[in-house]
Amino acid sequence: MLSNCSAQTKDSISIEYKAVTRGSQISLIANSNEIIYTSYDKNLDIELFKHQWNEIRDLVLSIDLDSMQKLIPPSTESHLDKAMIGSLLINKNGKIYESSTFDHGNPPKEIKELIDALFELAD
C-alpha cells in the first residue's frame, strides 16, 4: 500500500481550462502550487494548500485520461454562440490529454467534478 501512495505523490500534473467565444475568454491554469485565473475582468493568482492540491490531484487520477478526447458533451449551445466553448487539458508526467470541446458551465459528467472543484478554489 505504501508504494501506491508513494507513486501517486510522484505524479507531475498540471491542468489548463479554457473557455472562449467572440470577445471573451476565461483561462484557468493549475499546478501543485497555485491556480492562475484570468478573464476579461479578473486576474487572480491563488496559492494552493497541500490538501487542496491533493483533492484536485485525486480528481484527476479518477478520470480515464485516455478517453477524454471522446467525451460527449451534454449540450451544444456553443455551436450556436449561446455559450462559450470550453476545453480541458491535463499534462500528466509529460503526456498531454485534451478533452473534446463542450459548453462552458456544462462539461461532460466525467470531468465535471474536477472543473467544479477548480472554479470553486478560484472563487
Beta strands in 4-84 (DSSP E): 13-21, 24-30, 34-38, 43-47
Q: What is the mean pLDDT of residues 41-59?
A: 95
Torsion, Cα 41 14 117 97, to 10 degrees, reads 100
pTM confidence score: 0.85
Q: Is 21 helix (H, G, I), strand (E, B) or coil?
A: strand
Q: Could you give the percent of the chain with pLDDT greater than 70?
A: 88
75-97 pLDDT, tens per residue?
877 666 677 999 999 999 999 99
Q: Cβ distance 72 to 46 under 8 Å?
A: no
CATH 3.90.660 applies to domain 2-122: no
Instruction: Work out the number of other CB atoms within 10 angstroms of the CB of residue 35.
Output: 22
Place 123 in a pLDDT band, splitting at 50, 70 and 90: confident
